[in-house]
Structure 1
Amino acid sequence: MEKITLVLAADNNYAQHLAVACASILKNTLHPEKIYFYVLNDDISSENQDLIMQTVHDLKGEVQFISVDDKKVHGFTSGHISKAAYLRLTIDQVLPETVTKVIYFDTDLVVLDDVEKLWNFSLEGKPLGAVCDFGIMKSKRMRRQKFETLGLPEGDPYFNSGVLIMDLQQWRQKRYGSLVIGTVTQHAFRHHDQDGLNKVFMNNWKKIPLRWNVIPPVFTMPLKVLCHASLRVKALEAMKNLAVFHWAGRYKPWEFSLNGPFNKLYYDYLKWTTFNNQPMPQPSEDMKGKSITRQNFRIRWAFFWKMILG
């Protein structure tokens, strides 16, 4: 039986959220026994490792933890971005040589469709598959910034690094991981390792359908997307058939009590984990006293336009 090899990375602060992502994957696949998780471990406590392992095993998957020497990678961090975000750049180095293909997932997302469909997506010879980042694509200012810092032509696509299909044979042959690490350690990029990946893989990646990484600039349907014909059509199509709901950005679902469409999916899958009895919500210091009322309104706005235009 072919294994579907998935990689996630976390420090101890994100152990619970990693378990939620794993639970969503296993609950939505027809063959959970095919799912094999590698967890890139940045000092996750033994207790939390056990809770993650129990969650995965209860839902019929398999998991292995790999501790990554933090000397392997370091880069500019800011805000909610920790060094754990850079661990994905070591995948080609730390996974067994027998693993030639993986799907990488961030831990601030849930998967709502069978991951085997994504596993079977063809890269057509490219070393990387990723989803376009509408947060960058909708903004003339950000496209200009990517041209100035990365050399990315303003008309070219830019991808989000939260969901990646990786051909590890090519990554190892071309030493892509080391190339990206070298790039991010030399620059204080605004979007951290995501910028480094976009620079190294410029014009050398395969577009994955938008539904496989739906981030806030898609699921909130802002005016800059709504008024841009091409982006609007793609966003509406993705919203009709969501496969990955990704809380990219500063607002995270676990920092607020269950309240509306913004964080309902997180709480739905938290119930399937061994972290279900943890105190909730879990706000960071800078998010205490803040509200997700605006985020809920924006999602309802998006669903209104989906009904009108869909």
Structure 2
Amino acid sequence: MNNDSYVNVVFATDEEYLPITAVAMTSLAANYKDARRLRVFVLVDRPMPEDDANRFSCIAERFDIEIYPLLVSAEDFSAVRTSRGISAATYFRLGMHLVLPSDLEKVVYLDSDMIILGNIAEVFDTVLDDRTLFAGAEDYNSVAHRKSYKTPPTSVNLNAGVLVCNIKAIRAMDFLEEVSAYIEQNRYLIFHGDQQILNYLFAGRMKYIHIRWNMHGQLFEPDWVASNLSGRALISPEDAAEGRKSPSIIHYNGAMKPWNGGAHPRRRDWYRFARLSTYNDIFFEPSWPISKTKSRRTRSISNKIYRTLWLDKLSQALTEGYRAKGTRTWLDRNVKGGKLWKQKPFDELRVLSEKQSLIQMHTFLTMRGLLRRDKKFSAADFVRSIPRNAKVYANAPNDDLEGGFHENIKLIFQTPNVGMKVLPYEADFSLVLHMAIRTSGFWDALLTGSFDREIVFGEAAFFGAYAGYFDKEAPTVGRRPFGYILDDLCYYYDARQPSRLELKLNDNAYRLSDAEIDRAKRLIKRIRTESLTKYNRNSGKGREIVLEPGSVVAIDQTPHDASIRFGGAEKRTITDMVAAAVRENPGATVYFKRHPDNVKTDRNILPSTARVKILPDDADITQVLDQCAIVYVVASQVGFEALLRGKKVVTFGMPFYSGWGLTDDRQAIARRTQTRTAEELFHAACIDMSVYVDPVSQRLIEIEDAFDLVQSLRRSEIGVDTQSDFARAAAE
């Protein structure tokens, strides 16, 4: 029988997933209608156990199809496994052309977590020219994926669960060489397994098939489609509706897998084929609480029972969820009593729970600090001690970690396994990237510490970023910090208890060598002469500002800034600071520099008077600091930058740089007893407690190299620097 007499299908699976694969194969065979023989290849990394082999043989006999297990290794790809839903088996398809029969030219690859309701011969007959490697349905979240993968916004983006594969064309190219090179360069940035690899490398050699051949995600939810699809994918609402009405393949990706209790809208279809499969003895369909097939009376009783159970679970969830925030008593009285939010306004509850959360967080961190204060910690040593591909729980949104602002943290830690998909109890350590105390992610990050694992608090380093979070015009490579300050006790700006940075500076034994002092001085000089600051894209080139001699500058902050909340200040402190600047400097003009995030709001608007002048919003802060004599701050980093320029700094909060004899402090911090130099402060914060990475080479670098990267990006944006790898990456 020649190759044209077959319809070829490939599954990839491991021993644990064999029963799920068998259900998919049963649905495939049961709905197959074609004169050609159905030939199914099962990619596995070890021979099937005897019982499983017998069960698959029974499928072949029952439906008169051919089934061939093929051994394939995914060892080369094991290092890039990134999530609970992506195992080594998902990479088998990358090497399937090496083990499939030599005369085979085309296959349909299918994930195992699906059922096939259409005739697979139809999609197998998709025409693929010599240029096209893959055909498949668009991913329902392709807009975000294109951004994360760094591919053009209109490029083809396939969900890799169903792929028509041009094996002949794949064999005619250096396919694995291209794949291996991509993995080597991006092994810590791969979060979607081979789907990400294929879509990045071969988007120009792909084509779409109808979405009904891969109905996945939330495409079976009409309300979601109506509200969200247009912003998530290029799939038309009409095609989505057709696929929902008559799906050819139902793909149970994500968490809604029927065999794990997932409430997928089409879960019953899966159990229908599970009962037909040779594994029908191990799958038991749950009794769903609400059924349209029951009588109205029976359905009414079922619904009442279901609502009772649900409300009980809701009460329990609310009670457990707010226990840590001190509101369990209120919930017992109001939720369980049936009053449901009627007695207290939500804002009052929020403020109450937030304040009590702050107290409990402080208690936890203080006790933890007492137990760990005698340990040694440096950012570089900690990062070097992390095993490759470690599991890191981080309380940052996936959009920030997968192609977003904090993606470089994966390069620093040398692992793709960073985020809230990692469970706290299985994490090697947790990373707190946001002090979002009203979110469960923050508390889950702290929970890791209860399992005797490290908790690290991280934020963009003081001089370690090129563009800000909201700067969408900056080059992609410059929109992510390449430096982070790390602390194992708490955030450096949380003055309620000692941070590791504070303990270092408060240690009488902490002294810099002559070489370290010289290095700090050279770097501080670069900060001044090169106009370096936290976000460097526009620094040094803003509107030219000329201040009056001997002038005073008061620095604005956002009211919700964490350094305000945890630095012993509040919203009115900013007004008090400006008033003090006017009162204490009767012969000087006071300039007020608004925070960029306050510019488009009505926050902190002060009237411009003869004594107080509002600086233009686009005024360059480095120019302002170079010209003024005194800087008033609450807790802003600008105060730290002013110190490095030799300015007098007055603080109204308790920032990390106050209390060391360098600033005029209006709030004393009795814990801080040492007197420090600007060089010691800089070395401790920006060298000892910070770590930097080159996002192109993906290697750890020194702070001097980070400053060079800033200059390279600046030159590349004006078309001067065309030589460095960093500049070329910026141009892309």
**1:14 Cα shift?**
0.8
Contact 2:42 2:67 in 1 (8 A): yes
Residue range with higher mean Cα deviation, 175-184 or 216-225:
175-184
Q: Distance in 2 between matches of 1:32 and 1:23?
A: 18
- Give SS of 2:67's match: strand
1:134 to 108, 131, 140: 140
Q: Distance in 1 between matches of 2:53 and 2:183?
A: 29
Decide whether aligned partners of structure 1 residues 230 and 109 sit closer, same or farther in structure 2, where only a CA change above 3 A counts: closer
Q: Distance in 1 between matches of 2:53 and 2:36?
A: 20
Residue number in structure 2 paired with 1:300: none
Q: Distance in 1 between matches of 2:174 and 2:97?
A: 8
Contact 1:4 1:36 in 2 (8 A): yes
Residue number in structure 1 paired with 2:253: 248
Residue number in structure 2 paired with 1:78: 83
**1:100 Cα shift?**
1.1
Q: How many residues align?
A: 279
Decide whether aligned partners of structure 1 residues 72 and 32 sit closer, same or farther in structure 2, where only a CA change above 3 A counts: farther
Contact 2:136 2:207 in 1 (8 A): yes
Q: Distance in 1 between matches of 2:264 and 2:136?
A: 29
Decide whether aligned partners of structure 1 residues 10 and 178 sit closer, same or farther in structure 2, where only a CA change above 3 A counts: farther
Residue number in structure 1 paired with 2:187: 187
**1:217 Cα shift?**
2.7
Structure of greater relative contact order (alpha carbons < 8 Å, 6+ residues apart): 1
Alignment deviations for residues 42-63 of structure 1 (CA, whole Å, 9 cap, x no partner): 3342321221221232111110
Alignment deviations for residues 63-89 of structure 1 (CA, whole Å, 9 cap, x no partner): 011111333543223112111111111
Residue number in structure 1 paired with 2:165: 166
Contact 2:13 2:89 in 1 (8 A): yes
Q: Distance in 2 between matches of 1:260 and 1:204?
A: 33
Q: Distance in 2 between matches of 1:87 and 1:25?
A: 20
Contact 1:15 1:52 in 2 (8 A): no
- Give SS of 1:8's match: strand
Decide whether aligned partners of structure 1 residues 260 and 166 sit closer, same or farther in structure 2, where only a CA change above 3 A counts: closer
Larger radius of gyration: 2
Alignment of 1:149-160 (within 5 A): 149-160=148-159
Residue number in structure 1 paired with 2:236: 231
- Give SS of 2:141's match: helix
Alignment deviations for residues 101-121 of structure 1 (CA, whole Å, 9 cap, x no partner): 111000000111111111111
**1:244 Cα shift?**
0.5
Contact 1:255 1:281 in 2 (8 A): no
Contact 2:258 2:264 in 1 (8 A): no
Contact 1:22 1:56 in 2 (8 A): no
Contact 2:156 2:206 in 1 (8 A): no
Residue number in structure 1 paired with 2:220: 219
Contact 2:215 2:247 in 1 (8 A): yes
Residue number in structure 1 paired with 2:417: none
Which amino acid counterpart does residue 106 of structure 1 have in structure 2? D
Q: Tell whether 2:121 aligns with 1:116.
A: yes
**1:97 Cα shift?**
1.1
Residue number in structure 2 paired with 1:5: 8
Decide whether aligned partners of structure 1 residues 230 and 166 sit closer, same or farther in structure 2, where only a CA change above 3 A counts: closer
Residue range with higher mean Cα deviation, 270-279 or 10-19:
270-279
Residue number in structure 2 paired with 1:21: 24
Residue number in structure 2 paired with 1:198: 199
Q: Distance in 1 between matches of 2:194 and 2:129?
A: 24
Decide whether aligned partners of structure 1 residues 97 and 254 sit closer, same or farther in structure 2, where only a CA change above 3 A counts: same
**1:181 Cα shift?**
4.2
**1:232 Cα shift?**
1.7
Q: Distance in 2 between matches of 1:94 and 1:254?
A: 31
Q: Distance in 1 between matches of 2:138 and 2:252?
A: 15
Decide whether aligned partners of structure 1 residues 233 and 181 sit closer, same or farther in structure 2, where only a CA change above 3 A counts: farther
Contact 1:131 1:213 in 2 (8 A): yes
Taking every aligned residue pair, what percent have the same amino acid on both sides?
24
**1:184 Cα shift?**
3.5
Q: Distance in 2 between matches of 1:41 and 1:281?
A: 28
Q: Distance in 1 between matches of 2:237 and 2:197?
A: 28
Contact 1:25 1:112 in 2 (8 A): yes
Q: Distance in 1 between matches of 2:218 and 2:156?
A: 15
Contact 1:183 1:196 in 2 (8 A): yes
Query: RMSD over aligned Cα, in angstroms?
Result: 2.8
Residue range with higher mean Cα deviation, 69-78 or 21-30:
69-78
Which amino acid counterpart does residue 191 of structure 2 have in structure 1? R
**1:240 Cα shift?**
2.7
**1:209 Cα shift?**
1.1
Residue number in structure 1 paired with 2:73: 69
Decide whether aligned partners of structure 1 residues 33 and 173 sit closer, same or farther in structure 2, where only a CA change above 3 A counts: closer
Q: Tell whether 2:59 aligns with 1:60.
A: no
**1:238 Cα shift?**
1.8
Q: Distance in 2 between matches of 1:256 and 1:281?
A: 9
- Give SS of 2:58's match: helix
Contact 1:5 1:37 in 2 (8 A): yes
Q: Distance in 2 between matches of 1:181 and 1:70?
A: 12
Contact 1:33 1:62 in 2 (8 A): no
Q: Distance in 2 between matches of 1:230 and 1:69?
A: 35
Decide whether aligned partners of structure 1 residues 159 and 276 sit closer, same or farther in structure 2, where only a CA change above 3 A counts: same
Provide runs of 4+ in structure 1 moved above 6 Å: 226-229
Contact 2:140 2:235 in 1 (8 A): no
- Give SS of 1:271's match: helix
Contact 2:275 2:283 in 1 (8 A): no
Residue number in structure 1 paired with 2:598: none
Decide whether aligned partners of structure 1 residues 152 and 226 sit closer, same or farther in structure 2, where only a CA change above 3 A counts: closer
Q: Distance in 2 between matches of 1:99 and 1:54?
A: 25
**1:200 Cα shift?**
1.3
**TM-score scaled by length of structure 1:** 0.81
